[in-house]
Amino acid sequence: MLSALEIAVDPPLELNEYDRRLLQNGCLQRLPEVMSDLQGDPAHVGPYDVLLQVIKIEPLAEHLDPKAGQVLARRALPTMRHGLLFWNVPPLTMANPVLMIVPAPEIPALQFGAFPEDPRLPIEVFRNRGRRFVCNVEVTFEGHGTHSKVLYFDHTQSIVFPRAVQGGEDQHGNFVTRVIREPIRWSASTAPADTLLIGVPAAIEVLRVQLSSYTDRVKRGLFDRYGQAKHRDRQAFERPLLHLDAAERAVVVTVGCMWVETMTRELHHRPREADLRGWLSRDVPGVMQLLSEYSATRDGAAALIAAYTSDPMALVAKLGPVLDQ
């Protein structure tokens, strides 16, 4: 009987709450594998504690043949088009977006301008891209029996749109900012078996790209005010940046939930919950609050998008401490 599960990590490694939850769930799933080695030993019975010690975190990258990426994209296009039509509202209306499957490794990030001025949507398809956690799992029994085993936990995100707003001083001492926009990274290894859902994560990340111009405009303003301040409080500056990212994610996931619910209802389709879990998790901070306020319809999605694009920080203030979770 498990008494306690502790996760430990030594600097310079760091774990956020999402990583900790990931490792906790992974460890609980793998415990039967660890315990199977201990059958028949009287010291290894009764209540026990588990210590999960993170030894190192390694990057994962396995490139996919470009032709295979094109095949995946073609299968995803019908669903992606449905999503773009669902949230095709005035703030996000875009003329002729260009979906591009680009080869790996990734192309230079600065090759692409800000969206929507640069309507190209580069998608970099991988079979696997993420992180591997190398951990030592130590099980200590009440009867003083101890057993340890090294386990590997792989975390691969289905899709992600990396970008960053950077600030610094130029050669004249002026504070300047720039936005780095990278290709959307899509892992083919996590594509759902359900044909209808293959394009869902890609469409949702395109929505994130569309919202990014509003988010990044606010970020640039925060950077400018930080650069002009005489006494720079970095913590006070970073907090609204984190909240802004969290609010954007909440809006993206909420609109995504509205869209998938509408699409599957219109097509009389019932996807498996397992295929929806992860990139449409209602546990994302702020999502349940937004779903309770806006109806799960096209009109509800349009109203939420209008609220965010008109004043992103007002939505941050509305969600408040929820974004700190």
The answer to whether residue 308 scores a pLDDT higher than 80 is yes
Does position 119 have pLDDT exceeding 70, yes or no? yes
What's the pLDDT score for residue 135? Answer: 92
Q: How many domains does the structure of the chain reveal?
A: 2
DSSP code of 320? G
Same domain, 268 and 147: no
Q: What is the mean pLDDT of the chain?
A: 82
pLDDT at 294: 95
Asked whether the whole model's pTM tops 0.75, one would answer: no
Q: pLDDT-based confidence at 105, cuts 50/70/90? A: low
| Pairwise pLDDT comparison (16 vs 203), residue with the higher score | 203
Question: Do residue 23 and residue 144 come from a single domain?
Answer: yes
| 235 band by pLDDT with thresholds 50, 70 and 90 | low
Q: What does the pLDDT look like over 148-193, one tens digit per residue?
A: 889 998 887 777 777 777 777 777 777 777 777 788 888 777 777 7
The answer, yes or no, to whether residue 109 has pLDDT greater than 60, is no
Range of the domain at 47: 2-58+130-156
Q: Are residues 68 and 47 in the same domain?
A: no
**What pLDDT, on the 0 to 100 scale, is given for residue 234?**
66
**Bridge pairing between strands 48-63 and 159-160:** unpaired
Q: Calculate the alpha carbon distances from 76 to 192, 230, 234 in Å.
A: 11, 50, 42
Look at the chain and count its residues. Answer: 325
Residues 86 and 207 in one domain: yes
**Burial state string for 264-296 with b = 16 or more CB within 10 A and e = fewer than 16:** beeeeeebeeebbeebbeeebbbbebbbeebeb
Residues 245, 303, single domain; the answer is yes
Residue 68 is encoded by which pair of tokens?
A: 């295979």
> What does the pLDDT average to over 85-109?
74
Rg (CA), the chain: 22
Give the tens place of pLDDT for each residue, 255-291: 999 999 999 888 888 887 767 766 677 778 899 999 9
CA angle 322, 259, 265 (to 5 degrees): 125
Same domain, 190 and 256: yes
Whether 200 and 88 map to the same domain: the answer is yes
Residue of higher predicted confidence among 194 and 228: 194
Q: What backbone torsions phi and psi does residue 267 show, to the nearest 5 degrees?
A: -95, 5
